[in-house]
Each structure stands twice: as structure tokens, then as C-alpha cells.
Amino acid sequence: MDKLHKKINYQFKDLNLLKQALTHRSVGKINNERLEFLGDSILGAVVARELYIRFPNIGEGRLSRFKSYIVRGHTLGLVAVDIGLADLLILGEGELKSGGHNRKSIQADAIEAILGAIFLESGLDAVNGVILTLFKKYIDELNPTDILKDFKTQLQEKLQKFNQTLPQYQLIKTTGKDHNASFTVRCLLTDQKLQVEQEAKNIKRAEQMCAEVLLGRLKL
């Protein structure tokens, strides 16, 4: 855990809290889902405030797209790689056998859970500093002149350009209850004969994750 502490520039006083943040729901009742819920909200608020300060001359719409770009699952997965999180995840037997350590959604949830744990232990100022350190290079890459489009929009526009059938999104599974629910969405591209499934804490995020994967697989 010492390497992790150095990577995130934060020293946990309660190692059991850190352990919980790293524990996937496949292990049992004591897991990181509630911490992930908390961390997700805090991450969004901290990033929103930073973007508001950094870019005083751009409107709400572009700020929202910038925020979505930073807090998306893909970026969280990159942060997880940056700090070497995969090998520290605590998974149930089924997830271990299926290679859960390498699942980006599990890594992304653990990042948010760690942020939630830091907030609980040390408050907003501490977690604010950690977030701005971990996400600095990704925020620094933002260009106020860029017009970021979400992945669903990009996918739709690319398919339209080549007169192909638009994506079909379908919610195929819901697990958990209330704020701990997870949603699995399937996206089908008929003309491309491509289909993917992605899991996230809300349906819109799962759809965006599907679109992101399919953009990388298009043969156009």
C-alpha cells in the first residue's frame, strides 16, 4: 500500500477504509459500492469547480462536455493505470477467474471509492488536492477552442456519414438496488455486424461506454 500512498500523495490513517475502497461487491456485503457512490459525486463537484475557474469565458454546454470527458470511465481507467491499481483490487472468486483485475469499469469504480474514502477520513480539502493531482494532466490537455462531442454523438454522425443504420441501445440487465444499482447496456450496429455490452452506474454512462468501444471497432 505504500506505493499507492505515494502515487496518490495521500496517507490513509485507517487502512481498513482503504481496503474497503478496493473491495469489489463480488467479495460480499462489505464492499466499495457506497464509497464509489460518494466519490463519484465528489469527483464531479471538484472537476466542475476547477473547470469553472480555469475557463471563465466558455459556456455551460462546453463546460459540461469538458466535465464529462474528465470524469468518464475511460479517463478513470487511465488514472487507475497511472497509479498501478489493478493488482491491489480485492475481488471475489468469480471475478478473479474472469480477469476482473483488468476490467476498466471495476478499476474506475475503485478510483471513485478511494476518493470517497479520502473525503470521509480527511474532508473536502484533502480529496480536492488528490483529485487535482491525479487528473491534472488530463485537465491540462483540455483546449477551450475544442468542441468535444460525446461518444454517442460521434458514433451517430459517423454512421450517418456512410448512410449506415443508427445504433440500437438496449438495457439488458440491472443488478443491485437504489444508489447501488448497476446497469448493463447492449449496443448493436446492424450494418457493421458489431455488438458490445458495457456496465455502469447509470444507463447514460453505459451507453456512452458502448459507443466509445464501437468507435474504435468501426470499419469505415
- Cell 502515487 belongs to which residue? 7
- Confirm whether 141 is a catalytic residue: no
Residue 57: strand pairing partners:
none
In single-letter form, the type of residue at position 105 comes to S
Which residue is catalytic, options 36, 40, 50, 95? 40
- Cell 450517418 belongs to which residue? 160
For residue 94, the tally of other CB atoms under 10 A from its CB is: 9
Q: Which three cell numbers stand for residue 173?
A: 440487465
Distance CA 93, CA 110 (A): 18
Q: Which three cell numbers stand for residue 203?
A: 444507463
Contact 128, 31 (CB under 8 A): no
Which residue is catalytic, options 33, 50, 109, 112? 112
For residue 48, the tally of other CB atoms under 10 A from its CB is: 16
- Confirm whether 191 is a catalytic residue: no
Q: Quick one: how far is CA 185 from the chain centroid?
A: 15
Distance CA 202, CA 179 (A): 10
Distance CA 48, CA 45 (A): 5
Active site members: 40, 112
